[in-house]
């Protein structure tokens, strides 16, 4: 039964509305009223108009009858007559309000059964997409790829279904788990326990599948980045080869260090060229973490060539990192690989500086780092600082002799035994 037929049958059972009014407001409801509320308002207006016409007819007849007599209706009598007429209209208005509620329920049920479209506030319809926010929508994919024109009652043939299903393997995406969660909530409201359990199980398996996709993508990302590149695979990080390219790095605050002071053998055992980009970032972060612990002016440095408030560390800073890392991984010294390493080191350095500044400003207040960096920049421009090595824990200063070196005057001559 259509909405028009339903409204017409309901209105014909009500007293006080003529067939002409029903035909006027039911024959083309979309043109006459945008929703059920407007339709009720128009029908109530029609009811008042017809009642008013009938009331005028009754008054004219009473007036003719009263012309033969001398008495005229008093004002209080007219007021009572108006109240009686309003009381008569109240039940009809209540029935129209109930009818509007039924119409709204039928429209909502029809929209749910359609499945492939939904109505927004403006009354227009929009298609359910197969993918939104880079996640598969189960209902949208079903309607758009496995049904004829989005009609769930007309499934496609098996060959077309298999062909359209190849999209799932060509575009590996996660699935929107919220679809199943919302379906379970809706089923719970309707008291449908079977669909609640079904939707809950599908939500669990969907999230489990999403986690597997994320885990596999993380494992394959480093390998994909090295395909068709200049990276030499199957090489660990050889510290001896790296130290051959190591040299003193001087920071803008006249503090010095060498990468050989910071990189340890234990850390080198974890790095390999199979995951060149990931392990390059890990190496750089390990170095910057140790520098930030011993340098109280670390916050003042900048990874950008022309900073506003902070102090740029210089191009040679990043070039030394590139030379050491490429030599350690056994890669050739090319401009392409050097720029690739410098990009990773610069990004990690900028992120580390941001974290250090945020932590300091939580203690000293906002803009504290910028203010101190400006003061430090002025001091460095006006005064001459002495070079000093950063005091890494467990590392000896390079200008001091190691305990294994014994002065020549204290050495005793060694007598070789007779053969």
- Bridge-based pairing state of the strands 131-132 and 135-136: antiparallel
The whole-model pTM stands at 0.46
Structure tokens at 60: 């004219």
CA 243, 340, 279, 319 dihedral sign is positive
pLDDT score at 150: 81
What is the token pair recorded at 96?
């129209």
Give the residue, 37 or 397, on which the prediction is more confident. 37
Q: In terms of pLDDT, which residue wins out, 108 or 306?
A: 306
* pLDDT at position 313: 94
**H or E element at residue 113:** helix 75-114
The H-or-E segment that residue 203 falls in is helix 193-226
Q: What is the DSSP letter of 17?
A: -
Q: How far apart are CA 92 and CA 98, in angstroms?
A: 10
Work out the mean pLDDT of the chain and round it to a whole number.
Answer: 76
Greatest C-alpha distance within the chain = 166
CA 203 – CA 179 distance, rounded (Å): 8
Residue 8 has pLDDT above 80, yes or no: no
Give the tokens for residue 236.
């660990």
Give the per-residue SS3 of 274-320.
HHHHHHHHHHHHHHHHHHHHHCCCHHHEECCCCCCCCEECCHHHHHH
DSSP codes of every residue in 360-390: HHHHH-TTHHHHHHHHHHHHHHHS-PPPEE-
Q: Return the pLDDT at 116.
A: 41
Distance between CA atoms of 4 and 25, rounded to whole angstroms? 10
262 contacts 287 by C-beta, under 8 angstroms:
yes
| Banded model confidence at residue 21, pLDDT cuts 50, 70, 90 | low
Angle at which helices 36-67 and 75-114 pack, to 10 degrees?
160
pLDDT tens, 328-369? 999 988 999 999 999 999 999 999 999 999 999 999 998 999
Q: Is the pLDDT of residue 117 over 90?
A: no
CA dist 82 and 88 (Å) reads: 10
* Residue 162's pLDDT band (cuts 50, 70, 90): confident
Nearest to 210 by CA among 170, 184, 172: 172
Beta-strand pair 174-175/151-155: unpaired
Q: What is the mean pLDDT of residues 375-397?
A: 80
pLDDT at 22 over 80: no
What letter would DSSP give residue 7?
Answer: H
Q: What confidence tens digit (pLDDT) does each residue in 209-254 have? A: 888 888 887 765 554 555 447 888 889 999 999 999 999 999 999 9
Q: How many CA atoms lie within 13 A of 396 on its CB side?
A: 7
pLDDT of 49 above 90 = no
Q: What is the pLDDT of residue 153?
A: 84
Contact at 8 Å (CB) between 124 and 116? no
Please indicate whether residue 32 or residue 166 has the higher confidence score (pLDDT). Answer: 166
Q: How many residues does the chain have?
A: 419
Instruction: State how far the Cα of 269 lies from the Cα of 342, in Å rounded to an integer.
Output: 22
Closest CA to 58 of 88, 28, 97: 88
- pLDDT value, residue 93: 67
Which pLDDT score, from 0 to 100, does residue 419 have?
A: 41
User: What's the pLDDT score for residue 408?
Assistant: 45
Nearest CA to 275 out of 321, 329, 328, 337 is that of 329
Helix 315-328 / helix 335-364 crossing angle, nearest 10 deg? 120
Residue whose structure tokens are 């043939």: 157
The pLDDT tens digits for 71-89 are 444 545 555 555 666 666 6
């Amino acid at each position: 039964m259509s909405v028009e037929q339903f409204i017409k049958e309901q209105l014909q059972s009500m007293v006080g509305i003529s067939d002409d009014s029903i035909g006027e407001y039911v024959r083309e409801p979309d043109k006459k009223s945008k929703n059920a509320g407007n339709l009720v308002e128009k029908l109530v207006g029609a009811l008042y108009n017809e009642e008013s016409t009938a009331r005028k007819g009754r008054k004219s007849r009473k007036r003719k009858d009263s012309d033969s007599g001398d008495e005229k209706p008093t004002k209080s009598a007219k007021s009572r007559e108006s109240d009686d007429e309003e009381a008569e209209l109240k039940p009809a208005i209540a029935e129209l309000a109930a009818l509007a509620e039924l119409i709204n329920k039928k429209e909502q049920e029809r929209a749910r059964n359609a499945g492939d479209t939904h109505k927004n506030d403006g009354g227009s319809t929009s298609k359910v997409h197969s993918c939104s926010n880079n996640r598969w929508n189960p209902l949208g994919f079903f309607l758009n790829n496995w049904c004829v024109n989005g009609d769930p009652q007309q499934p496609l043939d098996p060959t077309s279904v298999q062909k359209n299903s190849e999209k799932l393997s060509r575009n590996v995406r996660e699935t929107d788990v919220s679809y199943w969660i919302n379906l379970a909530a809706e089923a719970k409201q309707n008291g449908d326990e079977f669909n609640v359990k079904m939707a809950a199980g599908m939500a669990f398996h969907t999230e489990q599948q999403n986690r597997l996709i994320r885990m596999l993508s993380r494992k394959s990302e480093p390998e994909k980045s090295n395909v068709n590149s200049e990276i030499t695979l199957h090489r660990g990080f050889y510290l001896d080869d790296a130290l051959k390219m190591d040299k003193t790095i001087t920071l803008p605050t006249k503090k010095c260090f060498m990468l050989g002071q910071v990189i340890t053998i234990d850390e080198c055992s974890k790095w390999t060229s199979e995951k060149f980009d990931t392990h390059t970032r890990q190496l750089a972060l390990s170095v910057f973490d140790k520098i930030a612990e011993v340098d109280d002016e670390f916050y003042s440095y900048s990874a950008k060539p022309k900073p506003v408030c902070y102090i740029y560390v210089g191009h040679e800073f990043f070039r030394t990192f590139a030379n050491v890392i490429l030599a350690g991984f056994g890669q050739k010294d090319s401009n392409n690989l050097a720029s690739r390493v410098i990009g990773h080191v610069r990004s990690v350095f900028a992120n580390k500086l941001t974290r250090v500044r945020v932590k300091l400003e939580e203690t000293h207040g906002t803009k504290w780092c910028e203010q101190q960096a400006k003061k430090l920049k002025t001091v460095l421009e006006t005064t001459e600082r002495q070079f000093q090595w950063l005091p890494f824990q467990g590392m000896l200063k390079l200008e001091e002799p190691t305990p294994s070196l014994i002065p020549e005057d204290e050495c005793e001559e060694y007598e070789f035994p007779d053969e």
